[in-house]
Amino acid sequence: MRAALSKTPYGSYVDPLPPDARAVDYEKAFYELFFHRLERIIRVASDDMAPFLRAYFPLRYEAMNLKRVLRGKYTGESEEEIRGLLLPLPPQFIEDYDPLIEAKGVEDAVMALEGTIYKPLIDRLEAFKELEALWILEFALNKICFDAACDAIEEAPGRVRGFLRDFISLDRSVENILLLESIRMALHGRQIPAEYVEGLIGYTPLCPRRIGDELLGGRSLGEIVDSLKPPLPRILLPAVEGDYALVRTNLRRYLLEMAEDESRKRRFDIPYVLWFLLRCEAEVLDLTRIAWGLDQGLRPERYSRYLILTPGS
Amino acid sequence: MSTLSGVRPTRAFLIEMKRRIRFIERGCEFLKLKRDHLAKELTESLNALRGQRRLLNEKLAEVYEALREAYISLGPLEVVSQAKSVKKETDVDVLPMSVMGVLYPYLRVKKRPVIDVELDASLAKVARILLDLFDQLINLAMFEARTERIADELGKTNRKVNALENIVIPSYKRIVKYIEDKLEEESLDDLVRTKLIGGVLARRRP
């Protein structure tokens, strides 16, 4: 893999890796290039474009890193182990991860977020303490990302707002359904305290509250998928069979198609930049899948159907 | 011949030896009964174990498939992070149980793992299957330990029976034979001696 990538932009990120590098090392190297690209593009993006791009890409990854810190604090992982799982994302809305990583526990780490975009987490601390469940804070982080993206759409030019709303709505709807399905499975028949979930899931016109209530109420996923508006049934169909990985692949492919179709109408506008960044992100996801497949000695046909960028795309 | 060293060829020792052989033979019979019972237990355990293992292997194959999907969907870093976030709260009591005097561990689950973190749907699927398998895994571990201990004890009992049947009892019987031979020889000597003395005395009589 290293030889195949050495003549690509990934070469300079992959070449310094030790010969016995594992899939996680490659994953970090791929993301490093993606984050550098992201930073450069957002830096030169116009004022009406940058907020949305920042809210959709870096904020999502920063929230992912933040979740990893909170999970580490929750189970008492060492600082070294927590740092080892973080993506190499340059500081965005958090200036430095160190105070969070060095905090005594989840509560101290959350309190250290005072004054940042993640402040709403502090309001959820009571519920976290009461239930001793980290998912409360993780859901709150998802909601912060969703709300930030929705707010950023309002700052985007009127000509692309409709497209961006559809884009975010589709992305969030699929993630919501996967999230609700995972709650249902992970809670393993335990009662979900509705008052704690209240306000934590960012419902969309494609996936309204009714769908959430039905899913948590025990209605089968198959019936729910059939009742959804297009293109959700097409994307979510593999979930009915239990293949959630393929749902994500379908979603990323569909979002790429959406951005590509829209960018044909307006060259070098937000959809075009979004399409380019989505492609870069898909490339990183695919390369990570290939690196992991090679690391595990899997035959390519075991993971190739999950690749987002098909040959010729 | 070494087993015969220190043997006193007396009638009292012969009686003692015969008593010991009877005792050992009775013990051997008991050990044979234990061996047969353990063999029966082992056969039953192995059959049950085979069935349980087959079912569990099928389920575990499903788990590995789901885990592969999770790795593909989320990437290794996120899978490791999410998997580590589930608190390791499993707690079991290990109690001793016995079959034919063979102690084996009985596991009683005190605390099961609880998922109170956000898991991706693909990982939640893995977690759900594993939670379903939790009791089966514990049962299998218990059954494996039981089968292993029974097999171990069966081997020991078998060795004991073989040692008694092929070494101890024959050597005791050799001793008995030796003493009996010696005693017979002595009685024959006594008879000859008596006859000789009788003959001498008869010749001396006028």
Residue A301 pLDDT grade (very low, low, confident, very high; cuts 50, 70, 90): confident
Q: What pTM, to 2 d.p., does this model score?
A: 0.78
CA B185 – CA A306 distance, rounded (Å): 95
pLDDT of residue B133: 86
Q: Which residue has the tokens 């830096």?
A: A43
Q: Which residues of A touch B111 (CB under 8 A)?
A: none
User: pLDDT tens-digit profile of A30-49?
Assistant: 999 999 999 999 988 888 88
At CA B190, angle to CA B188 and CA B196, rounded to 5?
A: 105
At CA A146, angle to CA A143 and CA A150, rounded to 5?
A: 135
Domain boundaries A45-138, corresponding CATH code? 1.20.1690
Query: Which contiguous run of DSSP H or E holds residue B109?
Result: strand B102-111
Residue A17 has pLDDT above 50, yes or no: yes
CA B61 – CA A214 distance, rounded (Å): 31
CB proximity under 8 Å: A 234-253 to B: 239, 242-245, 247-249
Residue A230 has pLDDT above 50, yes or no: yes
Residue A160 has pLDDT above 80, yes or no: yes
User: pLDDT tens-digit profile of B97-133?
Assistant: 888 888 888 988 888 877 777 788 888 888 888 888 8
Lowest mean pLDDT among A79-83, A187-191, B184-188: A187-191
Residue B20 pLDDT grade (very low, low, confident, very high; cuts 50, 70, 90): very high
CA A106 – CA A267 distance, rounded (Å): 46
Say whether B75 and A75 touch across the interface (CB within 8 A).
no
Report in angstroms the alpha-carbon separations of B185 from A187, A221, B6, B181, B192: 89, 97, 19, 6, 10
- CB count within 10 Å of CB A291 equals 25
Q: Which residue has the tokens 């075991």?
A: A302
Q: Which of A79, A188, A286, A292 to mutate to test the interface with B (most CBs of B within 10 A)?
A: A188
Residue A58 pLDDT grade (very low, low, confident, very high; cuts 50, 70, 90): very high
Residue A254 pLDDT grade (very low, low, confident, very high; cuts 50, 70, 90): very high
Residue A186 has pLDDT above 70, yes or no: no
Distance from CA of A81 to the nearest CA of B (A): 10
pLDDT of residue B2: 57
Pick the CATH number of B11-199 from 1.20.950.20, 1.10.287.3240, 1.10.150.310, 3.40.50.2300: 1.10.287.3240
Report in angstroms the alpha-carbon separations of B131 from A83, A132, A303, B99, B134: 29, 20, 26, 30, 5
Residue A1 has pLDDT above 90, yes or no: no
Distance from CA of A261 to the nearest CA of B (A): 25
Nearest CA in chain A to B125: A185
- Whether residue A142 contacts residue A179, with contact meaning beta carbons closer than 8 Å, is answered with yes
Token pair of A215 as six digits? 């899913």
Alpha helices in chain B (DSSP H): 11-74, 76-84, 121-163, 169-204
Residue A197 has pLDDT above 70, yes or no: no
Residue A268 has pLDDT above 60, yes or no: yes
Longest dimension (CA), chain B: 126
Q: Which residue has the tokens 């306000």?
A: A199
Token pair of A153 as six digits? 């759409």
- Whether residue A101 contacts residue A69, with contact meaning beta carbons closer than 8 Å, is answered with yes
Please tell me which residue, A190 or B150, carries the higher pLDDT value. B150
Token pair of B132 as six digits? 């379903």
Q: Which amino acid would we find at residue A302?
A: R
Burial A165-199 (b: 16+ CB within 10 A, else e): bebbbbbbbbbbbbbbbbbbbbbeeeeeeeebbee
- DSSP type of residue A306: G
pLDDT of residue A76: 86
Residue A312 pLDDT grade (very low, low, confident, very high; cuts 50, 70, 90): low
Say whether B121 and A239 touch across the interface (CB within 8 A).
yes
Residue A280 has pLDDT above 90, yes or no: yes
- Whether residue A76 contacts residue B86, with contact meaning beta carbons closer than 8 Å, is answered with no
- Whether residue A250 contacts residue A234, with contact meaning beta carbons closer than 8 Å, is answered with yes
Give Cα B173 distance to the centre of its chain. Answer: 28
Percent of all residues in chain B with a pLDDT value above 90, rounded to a whole number: 40
Residue A189 has pLDDT above 70, yes or no: no
Average confidence score pLDDT of chain B: 88
Token pair of A182 as six digits? 């995972």
CA A231 – CA A173 distance, rounded (Å): 11
Residue B21 has pLDDT above 90, yes or no: yes
User: pLDDT tens-digit profile of B161-187?
Assistant: 999 999 999 999 999 999 999 999 999
Percent of all residues in chain A with a pLDDT value above 70, rounded to a whole number: 94
pLDDT of residue A31: 93
- DSSP type of residue A65: H
Q: Which residues of B touch A179 (CB under 8 A)?
A: 118, 121
Distance from CA of A126 to the nearest CA of B (A): 15
Domain segments of chain B: what residues? 11-199
Q: Which amino acid would we find at residue B197?
A: I
Q: Which residues of A touch B77 (CB under 8 A)?
A: 24, 27-28, 68, 85, 87
Residue A4 pLDDT grade (very low, low, confident, very high; cuts 50, 70, 90): confident
- Whether residue A72 contacts residue A292, with contact meaning beta carbons closer than 8 Å, is answered with no
Say whether A182 and B124 touch across the interface (CB within 8 A).
yes
Say whether B68 and A75 touch across the interface (CB within 8 A).
no
Say which of B76, B115, B118 has its CB closest to residue A23: B76
pLDDT of residue A188: 55
End-to-end CA distance of chain A: 21
Please tell me which residue, A158 or A200, carries the higher pLDDT value. A158
Q: Which of B90, B117, B126 to mutate to test the interface with A (most CBs of A within 10 A)?
A: B117
- Whether residue B38 contacts residue B153, with contact meaning beta carbons closer than 8 Å, is answered with yes
Average confidence score pLDDT of chain A: 85
Say which of B73, B117, B124 has its CB closest to residue A71: B117
Say which of A24, A247, A306 has its CB closest to residue B77: A24
Residue A90 has pLDDT above 80, yes or no: yes
pLDDT of residue B1: 47
